[in-house]
Amino acid sequence: MVVGGTLRDWEELGEDRWAHRVEQLGQVADDAGASFLTLRAYEPGDDPVELHRWERPVGSCRVIVDPCGDGRERFAQAMQQLQPEDPVNEATVAEMLYAPADCEPDLIVVLGESTRLPPSLVWELAYGELVFHPLGWDELAADHLVAAIADFARRERRFGGLDEET
């Protein structure tokens, strides 16, 4: 998952640059063996902009473009999608939040300083590994995702556990 920019930043990128970015980042994710790559706005921003969610296959990877920059809004929408017969538990809520992806993100690349977490990531922060790049949405390039994946590959994931030494 890559999180960055406001909806205004996204709109200003333009259709051609969006298509190019989705292709480049999707190819990097596909080369790394990812089934899904979600691109999400960091936050909605102050200017009301109406953008819609869409997805596109790039190789074997599905790139999901999710403009919802408010994690609380995404959570409320997920709860509204539950059917009356669906149990309300972590699994069903996660299924609604991640769809069409079938699992939580392992790696979350955040465009911005490491001193602030994006409000769009209410649910995903539990076990996702965070990599911060202090750059703007319009500066994001495939090399940044390659570097984040390399950083992720060097990490020892504990999934909330403690080091054995502690």
Q: Where are the domains of the chain?
A: 2-70+104-154
- What sections of 32-164 are H helices per DSSP? 71-81, 90-98, 142-154
Q: What are 145-157's pLDDT values in tens digits?
A: 999 999 999 988 6
Q: What are 64-83's pLDDT values in tens digits?
A: 999 888 888 888 888 898 88
Which helix (H) or strand (E) covers residue 27, if one does?
helix 15-31
**DSSP state for residue 137 in the 8-state scheme:** G
Q: How many residues does the chain have?
A: 166
Q: CA-CA distance, 35 to 61, in Å (whole number)? A: 4
36 versus 51: which is more confidently predicted?
36
Q: CA-CA distance, 136 to 54, in Å (whole number)? A: 22
**For the chain, percent of residues with pLDDT exceeding 90:** 43
